[in-house]
Structure 1
Amino acid sequence: MDRRELAAFLRSRRERITPADVGLPAGTRRRTPGLRREEVAQLAFISTEYYTRLEQARAPRPSREVLTGLARALRLSDAERTHLHHLAGAPPGPAAGPPRQVRQSIVDLLRRLPNAAAIVVSAMYEVIAWNDLAAALMEDFSALSRRDRNLARRAFLGPHQDERRLYGVTDAGEFARATAENLRAAAARYSDDPELTELVAELHAGSEEFARLWASHDVCARPTLCKTFRHPLVGPVSVNCDVLDLADRDQRVVIYTADPGSPSEEALRLLSVIGTQRMEVPG
């Protein structure tokens, strides 16, 4: 345990966070930037006295539970969390489960892509961020529960609306294969995560296709470069599919764009106007 470095690191992380960042009132008479020691202690569920001793390099080695609380209270990144554990002489174990929090800069990026449909998916294929055009092209994810926003569950178990599997994409079979392979790799990275274990068990029990793909033990999925959505309102929409890996979060940004001047580009423009509203066509 490097007490001096740990103390300096805690102080530096505390001073960069504003009360508003963690939902606390700013108040008055703050002589130093960032949070007060007692505020960090409150957020980490430890005593102010113990936290003060940590910053003074006088405390005994913190437990893993205390380190987890400090990482949460100080809003540490995965790299910072690992560094904190090493400074405390307690190397971290594997992450409990796939990260679900999306960086604000990525959320802002999605909003700045008005002509592209874009989503962020976790390692277990949960859609955890999306822009308006993605909701119009695929589904209004804001109206779904966390469970129903999982694309792996949707691909293998449905529902398949109007006999359109997974929003009518032409590569549904290839997507299913890639999903099974990526989930197997994720299950090895997060072997202790009960939610991922439950998802794999549910897919295995409910889908013969998933059980067959899982039994192959393949873990190397090929990227999909283009696909076509069969949309119920605007018809087929052919898009290029680009994936940006967010290695620090084990997440992927999936961006769908149409070729300039193509009918699919016009369809996306129409969808950006229609949004997620339902259009009733007189019979």
Structure 2
Amino acid sequence: MEETLGKALRRWRDRLSPVDIGRTAARGRRAAGLRREELADLAGLSVDYVVRLEQGRATSPSAQVVASLARALQLDPAERDHAYRLAGLLPPREGTISTHVPAGVQRMLARLGEFPVGVFSADWTLLSWTPAWAALLGDPSARTRAERNLVRAVFATGPSGLAAWPVLHDGDALNRALVADLRTALVDHPRDRGLLALVADLRSTSAEFTRLWDEGAVGRHVSARKTIVHPQVGEVTCDCDVLTVPGCDVRLVVYTVAAGSADAEKLEFLRVTNGVPAAGSPPPVPGPSSAP
């Protein structure tokens, strides 16, 4: 039988369980795998579009849609490339930045949903986030891919550009580390047009970025203290850590607070008022797609 994208999507959907995405399987649930509604929610697509893809009535999904589906379905790199080919697209070329989030990272996020965690690509574009991230920093789903780039946010529109409200931090350690990261990414991904355009754009619009870039700034990410000025609870001061994932380009940004502190009480208030489930139950939220 001919392999189609629709058949592959159904096969991959059927092999995932709600537990794999951080949800509890309801008693009496008939579907062995994910429902179409759950896949649509994870991929940032409409249910109707997922149905049309599986039925072969939508035959030309964009690369962004395929990437979103691959993340939602927790495909490995070979399966992701197979999905691109079935959609009539070329898989991401070597030398370009990957937006693939490994299945293990997605499962970990599903169990860390009570914590504000964001997953970023090598050019510091936000790919996925937990519900607690949206509650603390504002929901990124309405932002464009360019607006979800941390480096652009820091240098082009100020440190709070990626968040819906101000994020305060001290010194230029973050700025130097981000510039160093982009320089490394350019070495690792020399054919990535988006990365080249990002560097060129920042060099033409940000004197601070240009200065650090021309100086050959080096830096590394260290634990930092950041204060989020939230409209509901006021200032929330968090420890911010950047975690790397061996074998892939993604990095996790994690905000934590000391247990029993006033900041912990504020985070708990935001969790409850924004409907963030307790630890172990919420799924990671994918970046928005331009698909129907």
Instruction: Give the TM-score band, short-chain normalised.
Output: 0.5 to 0.7
Aligned residue number for residue 77 of structure 2: 77
1:20 pairs with 2:19: no
Aligned residue number for residue 250 of structure 1: 249
Q: Deviations over 1:153-179 (max 9, x none)?
A: 1111116779x9983222373322211
Q: Deviations over 1:218-237 (max 9, x none)?
A: 23324133322222321111
Aligned residue number for residue 176 of structure 1: 175
Q: Deviations over 1:24-67 (max 9, x none)?
A: 9xxxxxxxxxxxxxxxxxxxxxxxxxxxxxxxxxxxxxxxxxxx
SS at match of 2:244: strand
Aligned residue number for residue 234 of structure 2: 235
Q: Which has the larger share of helix?
A: 1
Structure 2 CA distance for aligned equivalents of residues 166 and 216 of structure 1: 31
Q: CA deviation at 1:192?
A: 1.4
| Contact 2:116 2:255 (C-alpha < 8 Å) held by counterparts | yes
- The two structures have a TM-score, normalised by structure 1, of 0.61
Q: CA deviation at 1:96?
A: 2.8
What letter corresponds to residue 20 of structure 1 in structure 2? Answer: R
SS at match of 1:149: coil
SS at match of 2:94: coil
| Contact 2:179 2:213 (C-alpha < 8 Å) held by counterparts | yes
1:152 pairs with 2:151: yes
Q: CA deviation at 1:108?
A: 3.1
1:215 pairs with 2:205: no
Q: Percent identity?
A: 31
Seen in structure 2, the aligned counterparts of structure 1 residues 170 and 265 have a Cα distance that, compared at 3 Å, is: same
SS at match of 2:172: helix
Structure 2 CA distance for aligned equivalents of residues 19 and 114 of structure 1: 26
What letter corresponds to residue 192 of structure 2 in structure 1? Answer: D
Structure 2 CA distance for aligned equivalents of residues 143 and 275 of structure 1: 17
Matches within 5 A, 1:1-283: 20-21=10-11, 77=77, 95-158=94-157, 167-171=166-170, 173-275=172-274
SS at match of 1:154: helix
Question: Structure 2: 5+ residue runs without aligned partners?
Answer: 1-6, 15-74, 82-92, 276-292
| Contact 2:258 2:264 (C-alpha < 8 Å) held by counterparts | yes
For structure 1, which segment, 228-237 or 125-134, has the greater mean C-alpha deviation from structure 2 after superposition?
228-237
Q: Deviations over 1:177-235 (max 9, x none)?
A: 21111111111111111110000011111110100111111233241333222223211
What letter corresponds to residue 262 of structure 1 in structure 2? Answer: S
Q: Deviations over 1:129-153 (max 9, x none)?
A: 1001111211211111111111111
Structure 1 CA distance for aligned equivalents of residues 234 and 146 of structure 2: 28
Seen in structure 2, the aligned counterparts of structure 1 residues 247 and 161 have a Cα distance that, compared at 3 Å, is: closer
Seen in structure 2, the aligned counterparts of structure 1 residues 95 and 172 have a Cα distance that, compared at 3 Å, is: farther
Q: Which has the higher contact order (CA 8 A, sep 6+)?
A: 2
What letter corresponds to residue 204 of structure 1 in structure 2? Answer: R
Seen in structure 2, the aligned counterparts of structure 1 residues 274 and 156 have a Cα distance that, compared at 3 Å, is: farther
Larger Rg: 1
| Contact 1:154 1:166 (C-alpha < 8 Å) held by counterparts | no
CA-based RMSD: 3.2
Q: How many pairs does the alignment contain?
A: 197
Structure 1 CA distance for aligned equivalents of residues 186 and 174 of structure 2: 18
- The two structures have a TM-score, normalised by structure 2, of 0.59
What letter corresponds to residue 112 of structure 2 in structure 1? Answer: L
| Contact 1:124 1:183 (C-alpha < 8 Å) held by counterparts | yes
For structure 1, which segment, 232-241 or 256-265, has the greater mean C-alpha deviation from structure 2 after superposition?
232-241
